[in-house]
Amino acid sequence: MAGANLVLAITDLMSVSLPERGIACRLLAASLLGLLVCFVLASARLRGLLVNSAWLTGGALAVGVLPGTFLAVAIAKTSVVGRRLIEGLLVALLFVPLYVQAAAWHAVWGPTGWLTDQSPWLAGWRGAVWVHGVAAIPWVAIAVSAALKSIPREFEEGALMDANAWSVVTRVSLRRAGVGVVAASLWVAVICFGEIAVTDLFQVRTFAEEIYTAANLGVLGGVVTAWEDTPQLATRDLWLGTTAVLMLVLATIAVIWFWLPSSVRESPGERWVWQLGVGRHLFSIATWLLVVMLVGVPVVSLLNKSGMQTRQVDERIVRQWSAAKAVSLVFRSPWEHRRECRWSFAIGGVAAAAATSTGAVIAWGLRTRRLPAWPTVLLLAFGFAIPGPLTAVWLIGLLNHSADSIWSALTWCYDHTVLAPVLVQFFRALPLATLVLWSQLASLPQDVLDSATSEGAGWWTRLFVVALPQRWPAVAAAGCMSLIVSVSELAATLLLAPPGVATLSMRIFGLLHYGSDDRVSALCLALAMAIGLLTAAVWSVYDRSGRQTG
């Protein structure tokens, strides 16, 4: 229930205003037209980068849509064994950083992977497409399962009178949940257009990767010749590419918005579920095999790489695995990288606290109609979807000034403090924190708030004395999720971290370029375990609060 509540919270937020399908259709058409215009006006260089990003998106969807849809049907419409655990694992996968997933699959099919014979299979375009595709599976699964759970029970039960359960799932349920596939696909496109962790590792040139490279070289904003006489992005192309990404975000919102008029929130006990009968165990085995591939294979690969060691036997070098070394290295890695851990959690903690506090105020403003819903959704979505390197470039322009400028104090903060990485991680975590808090504050009974108002409680008093104490699990969940997102942020932090500051994401990203050896594998496994435990705690708290308010 917690997963469905979290994913469907955005539909609640948007349904506060303008739920007409005609407006959603016009917004979708305008965003697609905007994409076409950006592509037509782009230079040959930018057009090639956008095409590369589109190819990456298409490959990721080819890998991720079918498995994700299968898992969505399993957890939302069947009596598969352990479906709540499967849903929890999929939600946890959403928060595992892409660079950790890249390291895990690199340990499987990379240059020194345990399934690599001679030449590595995971390289170049194949590597980038595979990692993004596997990372897309949980997004598709959660989005489609949310759409499936919103189907009114009477539609499917009415269809059961004329067809069997299999036909109802394939011809009724999946057709009505098609919008979930479209929304997830567009969101995967946003990720592929905005992330650099995977493309930089496998040397695939995309729009976000080009921004990061140019910004790192200090040549962003003009046509400058770099290596091999390749021109960098001009300012015009920079804005056109950014607009293209924003058009993708608008298209995603429009698709969700189009779904709203026919979306009916149902509790798990009220929706129709296919009781599999004698085939339940076979279907459960197939489902769990896919889950093991998604979760178990990467974990086992990292564990295998962490424990691999070499020794000499009869003038031959023999590689063998040591369980003692693997366990020791995994549990030692946080201490060995304690400096990076301190910086990660210090920066991420401040950013998460600020995002949770600000998100609570925004969510309360939406709950009390002090803030307009639709513009707020757009701003939050744009803040989450803008490529990290581009956000870093804008923050550099905001904070970096000449010595004779009246804003020179900001330059000192930029050079000598962690203000810049805190700000960028705050902007990345704020949409998620607001979404989580909104989904819970919106469920507060209006008569409780009216009673507090009649007693003389003002807007702030109702928030801090009435609302937040009753929804403290949501506050805790929002804070933990914000911390996970902040610690995992890479693209902008790489460009913004001041001298002498290195986070876990930066350390792992650097080590990955030297191969997925035992050190980076152990560190990635330790980070994945920490994120998994934190996500499980959030899941438990949020699920309990969802049952109390449902």
Question: Residue 516's pLDDT is what?
Answer: 54
Contact 173, 156 (CB under 8 A): yes
Average pLDDT over residues 210-228: 57
Q: pLDDT higher for 323 or 425? A: 425
Phi and psi of 232, rounded to 5°?
-85, 180
Phi and psi of 414, rounded to 5°?
-65, -40
Q: Which amino acid is at 172?
A: V
Q: pLDDT higher for 2 or 351? A: 351
C-alpha span between 434 and 359 (Å, rounded): 4
Q: pLDDT higher for 449 or 265? A: 449
Average pLDDT over residues 75-104: 85
Contact 216, 496 (CB under 8 A): no
Q: pLDDT higher for 25 or 317? A: 25
Q: pLDDT higher for 321 or 205? A: 205
66-80, 112-126, 183-197, 365-379: which is most confident? 66-80
Question: Residue 123's pLDDT is what?
Answer: 78
Domains 32-298 and 325-550 share a fold: yes
Neighbours of 53 (CB within 10 A): 26
C-alpha span between 459 and 480 (Å, rounded): 26
C-alpha span between 352 and 229 (Å, rounded): 42
Q: pLDDT higher for 375 or 351? A: 351
How far from 315 is each of 309, 312, 318, 407, CA to CA, in Å?
16, 6, 9, 66
Give the CATH number of domain 325-550.
1.10.3720.10
What average pLDDT does the structure give for the chain?
78
List the beta bridge partners of residue 316: 313
Q: pLDDT higher for 102 or 10? A: 102
Q: pLDDT higher for 238 or 486? A: 486
Question: Residue 242's pLDDT is what?
Answer: 79
Q: What is the DSSP letter of 260?
A: G
Gyration radius from the chain CA atoms: 24
166-175, 255-264, 376-385: which is most confident? 166-175
Q: Evaluate if residue 18 carries a pLDDT over 90.
A: no
CATH classification number, 32-298, choose in 1.10.3720.10, 3.20.20.70, 3.40.190.10, 1.20.210.10: 1.10.3720.10
Q: Evaluate if residue 376 carries a pLDDT over 50.
A: yes
Q: How far from the centroid of its chain's Cα atoms is residue 464's Cα?
A: 30
Question: Residue 67's pLDDT is what?
Answer: 93
Q: Name the E strands within 41-185.
A: none
Question: Residue 19's pLDDT is what?
Answer: 44
pLDDT-derived band at 118 (thresholds 50, 70, 90) equals low
Q: Evaluate if residue 354 carries a pLDDT over 90.
A: yes
Per-residue pLDDT tens digits for 382-431 = 777 677 787 888 888 888 877 777 888 888 888 888 888 999 999 888 98
Per-residue pLDDT tens digits for 519-537 = 888 888 888 888 888 877 7
Q: Evaluate if residue 299 carries a pLDDT over 80.
A: yes
Q: What is the 3-state secondary structure (H, E, C) of 184-232?
A: HHHHHHHHHHHCCHHHHHCCCCCHHHHHHHHHHHCCCECCCECHHHCEC
9-18, 410-419, 533-542: which is most confident? 410-419
Question: Residue 62's pLDDT is what?
Answer: 92
Average pLDDT over residues 208-213: 78
C-alpha span between 495 and 479 (Å, rounded): 25
pTM of the model: 0.81
Torsion of CA 519, 521, 525, 531, to 10 degrees: 90
**Exposure string for 378-394, b = 16+ CB within 10 A, e = fewer:** eebbbbbbbbbbbbbbe
* Pick from 109-113, 218-222, 266-270: least confident: 266-270
Question: Residue 108's pLDDT is what?
Answer: 78
Question: Residue 521's pLDDT is what?
Answer: 83
Question: Residue 170's pLDDT is what?
Answer: 81
Q: Evaluate if residue 252 carries a pLDDT over 70.
A: yes
Per-residue pLDDT tens digits for 126-181 = 888 999 999 999 989 988 888 888 777 777 777 777 777 788 888 778 887 877 78
Question: Residue 353's pLDDT is what?
Answer: 93
Question: Residue 218's pLDDT is what?
Answer: 61
- Domains of the chain, residue spans: 32-298, 325-550
Q: Evaluate if residue 16 carries a pLDDT over 60.
A: no
